[in-house]
Amino acid sequence: MELFEAIYTQRAMRRLKPDPVPDELIWQIIDAAIHAPNGGNLQPWNFLVIKDYATKLQLQEYYIDGLNSVTRPNQQLASNAPRTPEEMERAKQSPARYLADHLAEVPVLILCSVRLEDVASTTPPGACIFPAVQNLMLAARALGLGTVLTTVIRHREADVRKFLGIPDGVWIGTLIPVGWPVGKFGPNVRKPAEQVTFLDRWGQGMPRDAGAPAKNRELAGAGRR
């Protein structure tokens, strides 16, 4: 897949099929991840691949609790909470809630982390892992796999750390569900770049170069429709 097509059609896929993902594809997207830029080429990342159903089921419990902790009480619709028919219908329509309630069914979860001893004190840990995460997600898109970047699991970080045996010196960055998507990829919807781009001073607009590649402009325009 051409790079810009992957970028412009990448979406957060929270509804994933339980169908297995071959290990060779998991290795392929992790190999893409470790080719990301990183300070001093220290490569401080680790990727914990989780396929065991019982392990995923426990992580689902942590995930649901974490999602509820960042959701207003009257929106808490976890699978272990009483629901009215109206609440159940709203829950079905929420991709974030669907993922929480079906996390254990996702074929592969990848926990992305950073070894803090290998990170400069002035460097935020996220700067060392999120470029690798984006490489991983773009590679997954090119292979037809759905992914979504989630940080909800961090709300139960102590429990997750103990449960998975993660040392204290490791920073937990994100949990990436990986699977074959239920929905379709397509142009994502974003604000025009002109609305979020300044030149030299904050608030000063930057003229767009009319010579931008036609295919990229076409993909970007499709995403805004």
Q: What angle do CA 118, 112, 102 make, to 5 degrees?
A: 165
**Fold of domain 3-183:** NADH Oxidase (3.40.109)
The Cα–Cα gap between 188 and 48 comes to 29
Contact 71, 142 (CB under 8 A): no
Question: Tens digit of pLDDT for each residue in 31-68?
Answer: 999 999 998 899 999 999 999 999 999 999 999 999 99
* Cβ-based burial of 196 (10 A; exposed 0-12, middle 13-18, buried ≥19): exposed
Burial 55-73 (b: 16+ CB within 10 A, else e): ebebbbbbbbbbbbeebee
Per-residue pLDDT for 119 more than 70? yes
Residue 187: pLDDT band by 50, 70, 90 thresholds? Answer: confident
Question: Tens digit of pLDDT for each residue in 132-172?
Answer: 999 999 999 999 999 999 999 999 999 999 999 999 999 99
pLDDT at res. 70: 74
Residue 94: pLDDT band by 50, 70, 90 thresholds? Answer: confident
Task: Return the domain boundaries, the chain.
Answer: 3-183, 187-225
Distances (CA, A) of 132 to 28, 119, 135, 178: 13, 15, 5, 15
In the predicted model, what is the mean pLDDT of residues 119-141?
A: 92
Contact 9, 185 (CB under 8 A): yes
